[in-house]
Amino acid sequence: MQVCALYRHPIKSHGREAIERVHLTQGATMPWDRVWAVTHEATKFDAGAPKWASCNNFMIGSRTPGLAGIWATMDEADRAITLTHQALPPLTFHPDDPAETARFLDWVAPLCPSNRAAPTAIVAAPNRGMTDTTYPSVSIMNTASHRAVADALGVEITKERWRGNIWLDDIAAWSEFGWIGRDVKIGDAVLRIREPIKRCPVTNTNPITGERDTATLDILNSVFGHQNFGVYAEVITSGDIALGTKAEVI
């Protein structure tokens, strides 16, 4: 099997970016993945003592489906992000600069339902991305499993709706669930597979339009007997990976 796609999501739930290569570090999330998150009016995140917090404290696609239509481009040297959405003009700003947060909040407001908690600020936790796991994780997806879901739905769906980091090709559908507790070597990096990813309603949302257009969760449950897609892994050996890098279960 081999790597066929790589994605990072600089601001949690606010856009994804396809990349060609990445260096994974032992015990860390993917570089520039979920570095920032957007709090809302009911958040319990303590900006005075920032640390990892669960997704309920942030603006996420399951409650605000319009966010799924955002794409991101990261300028690593400048720590600047450009966000695009088909219904909005592009926005380039620095998430670390509170003075620029107001521009972001104005930009994203049209995507946020009036009956939901509104976004309030952009925050970060030291030394790790704000993934949905208590430990720093990297998510691994299987293109054959994606095709199986699309076939069951009877429509073409894009893989971006799964919000994965590493996509692997040339393996059987759902074989990734047999890797739990085992290690996968991807290039020089080694990742330990920790658990399946239980999916939420955001997977029903089109990542182009930001509108809910499929019954992905219903299909997962009714056809495949579970609500999982992809697996969470922990980097146990640092290394470089890129598109086309070979992978093997060890």
CATH number at residue 139: 2.40.33.20
Domains contained in the chain, number: 2
Prediction pTM value: 0.95
Point out the domain boundary residue: 100, 124, 148: 124
Q: What is the CA radius of gyration of the chain?
A: 17
- The residues, ordered by sequence, that sit 6+ positions from 151 with a Cβ below 8 Å of its Cβ are none
Q: State the CB neighbour count (10 A cutoff) for residue 10.
A: 24
Q: Do 149 and 119 share a structural domain?
A: no
Output the pLDDT for position 61.
87
Residues 137 and 215 occupy one common structural domain: yes
Report the alpha-carbon angle 191-192-197, nearest 5.
Answer: 100
Residue tagged 């430990």 (tokens):
135
Q: Are residues 62 and 152 in the same domain?
A: no
What is the separation, in whole angstroms, between the first and last Cα of the chain? 13
- The pLDDT value recorded for residue 197 is 98
The verdict on 94 and 112 lying in the same domain is: yes
**Residue 27's pLDDT is what?**
97
pLDDT value for 111: 94
* Average pLDDT per block of 10 residues along the chain, 250 residues long: 98 97 98 97 94 95 90 96 96 95 96 90 95 97 98 94 97 97 97 97 87 92 97 98 97
Whether 75 and 154 share a structural domain: no
Residues 139 and 64 in one domain: no
Residues 147 and 239 in one domain: yes
Question: Which of these three, 124, 143, 177, is where a domain ends?
Answer: 124
Domain co-membership, 117 together with 166: no
- Which of 63, 97, 124 is the C-terminal boundary of a domain? 124
Q: Are residues 200 and 180 in the same domain?
A: yes
Indicate whether 237 and 146 sit together in one domain: yes
Q: Verify that 116 and 234 share a domain, yes or no.
A: no
Tell me, what's the pLDDT at 248?
A: 97
Query: Does one domain contain both 154 and 233?
Result: yes
Range of the domain at 93: 35-124
Among 30, 6, 17, smallest CA distance to 191 is for 30
- Residue 100 vs residues 22, 86, 192: alpha-carbon distances, Å: 28, 22, 38
Per-residue H/E/C for 23-50: EECCCCCCCCCCCEEEEECCCCCCCCCC
Q: pLDDT at position 208, please?
A: 84
With beta carbons less than 8 A apart as the criterion, state whether 107 and 38 touch. no
Is the C-alpha dihedral spanning 146, 150, 153, 156 positive or negative?
A: positive
